[in-house]
Amino acid sequence: MKIVDIFAKKLCSIAYKIKGSDAYDICEYDRLLDLWTDVSYLYQYAKSNNVKDINKFVKARLKDATLIDDFLNELIEDNIPLDKYFHQLDNNETGFKLLSLRKGKTSKYDGLRFYAIKIDDDCFLITGGAIKMSFKNKDHQDTREEMKKIKMVKAFLQKNDVVDIESFYEFRTELENYDK
């Protein structure tokens, strides 16, 4: 696992190792935005998920992907906390929680989700994302897989004593040195 900066000191993303290789895939942020803006991928995804109006689905996901990218860039440029985008994954979660699990969405109608861990105030680590196809994450294969990934990364961070932005960047430096 490798940690990649998206927006320095505020938003990072995981790059997972490619199975059967020592190489890393591109980070989840870039990988997902690439998929979510690939018309042929979205078409096949809609088809395999039995979407009735495939053209409407594809257009909506393309719009969502652009909106997400623009929204995150705007938040960073205007120095607005990323909490404006990343909300608690569990809608019943309240108060401060160490390494809180988050979902990123621009509105309740947004069909795409980034999943992230809140490291500290205005510091998030994207672990993956999905096209939201069901109300509950447990009801669709893709979101179930993303829940496994986010919990795995959280456990990995906890095992390595990451509790805030300082310990996160210290651990990140250790990871980079380990991979050299």
Helix (H, G, I), strand (E, B) or coil at 142: helix
Kindly state the DSSP code that residue 97 receives in the 8-state scheme. Answer: -
- The least confident of 69-73, 85-89, 123-127, 176-180 is 176-180
The number of domains in the chain is 1
In total, the chain counts a number of residues equal to: 180
Percent of residues, the chain, with pLDDT higher than 70: 94
Chain segment 138-162, per-residue pLDDT in tens: 889 999 999 999 999 999 999 999 9
Binned at pLDDT 50, 70 and 90, residue 24 comes out as confident
CB 126 within 8 A of CB 26: no
Q: Is the pTM value of this prediction over 0.75?
A: yes
Residue 56: domain span: 2-179
Beta strand ranges found along 76-175 (DSSP E) = 86-88, 100-104, 112-120, 123-131
133 pLDDT above the threshold of 60: yes
Chain segment 29-71, per-residue pLDDT in tens: 999 999 999 999 999 999 999 999 999 999 999 999 999 999 9
